[in-house]
Amino acid sequence: MTTASLLWGVLFGAIGLGYFVYGRKQRAVVPIICGVALMVFPYAVSSTGWLVLIGAALMAVPYFIRL
């Protein structure tokens, strides 16, 4: 684990917490799911490149999918 992957994991976890809180207040399912995924996936991904790629994709999902 490198310092970069640790910092990216903290950043994506904080954004995931924001998505989760927003989803609960708005009663929207997609931000809640993306928020939980953003908080959990850094534990499973070890490569910094994949971490940034997956995190950016998960952050973009609520913008494109609105239920």
Q: What is the mean pLDDT of each run of 10 residues along the chain (67 residues)?
A: 91 97 96 97 93 96 88
Residue 66 has what pLDDT?
Answer: 79
Closest CA to 15 of 45, 40, 48, 39: 39
Q: For the chain, what is the domain count? A: 1
Residue 1 has what pLDDT?
Answer: 73
Provide the sign of the torsion angle of the four alpha carbons 33, 34, 39, 41, taken in this order: positive
Q: Residue 39: which domain range?
A: 3-64
